[in-house]
């Protein structure tokens, strides 16, 4: 069952709530925190130990194909645009509305357990969200580096994966 983070307090929930309350004044932003997946972009806005938060932007019509992150549990917090988020074939977030934006950003998020199949349909406005992550193995990098099963987001993303394995 998919849970909203306020219903299941744990260390990832605590970190998400701290991150949202910190208003980006206490964040540890790494110098190497920008990743271009062309046409999407990820920016690490905080990284500390096993936790990380990345701001993602996706252009209109560029859906994220079904995949899993075997070593990352996350809470996805929608910031702007429109999207439909599916976890294990269940739509758990969307469609976006301005009325819901403040509530979504400050109080809600969609949890994606590690090893769960998920995908995103990006709406006509594009989409922006924060992926708040707990890494269960290894040091955090971009969550796109912990991508298993399924097609990559783009040729650039595929090339990055091939570089890591060669």
Distance CA 105, CA 108 (A): 6
What's the Cα-to-Cα distance from 15 to each of 74, 123, 161, rounded to whole Å?
11, 29, 29
What's the Cα-to-Cα distance from 37 to each of 6, 33, 68, rounded to whole Å?
31, 13, 17
Amino acid 98: pLDDT? 46
pLDDT digits (tens, 9 = 90+) for 32-66: 788 888 889 999 999 999 999 999 999 998 999 99
Q: Sorting pLDDT into bands at 50, 70 and 90, what band is 13? A: confident
Q: Give the residue from 42, 66, 63 showing the smallest Cα distance to 140.
A: 42
Distance CA 151, CA 15 (A): 30
Amino acid 42: pLDDT? 93
What element of type H or E holds 129?
Answer: strand 118-135
Beta carbons within 8 Å of 7's beta carbon, 6+ residues apart: none
Amino acid 154: pLDDT? 86
In CATH, the number for domain 5-165 is 2.60.120.10
pLDDT digits (tens, 9 = 90+) for 114-140: 999 999 999 888 989 999 999 999 889
What element of type H or E holds 18?
Answer: helix 11-22
């Amino acid at each position: 069952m998919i849970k909203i983070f306020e219903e299941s307090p744990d260390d990832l929930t605590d970190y998400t709530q701290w991150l949202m309350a910190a208003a980006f004044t206490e964040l540890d932003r790494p110098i190497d925190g920008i990743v271009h997946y062309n046409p999407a972009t990820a920016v690490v806005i905080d990284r500390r130990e096993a936790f990380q938060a990345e701001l993602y932007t996706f252009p209109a019509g560029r859906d994220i194909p079904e995949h899993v992150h075997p070593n990352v549990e996350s809470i996805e917090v929608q910031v702007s645009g429109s999207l439909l988020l599916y976890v294990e074939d269940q739509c758990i977030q969307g469609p976006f509305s301005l009325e819901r934006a403040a509530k979504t950003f400050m109080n809600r998020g969609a949890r994606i357990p590690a090893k769960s199949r998920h995908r995103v349909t990006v709406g006509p406005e594009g989409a922006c969200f924060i992926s708040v992550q707990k890494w269960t193995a290894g040091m955090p990098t971009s969550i796109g580096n912990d991508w298993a099963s399924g097609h990559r987001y783009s040729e650039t993303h595929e090339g990055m994966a091939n570089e890591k394995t060669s």
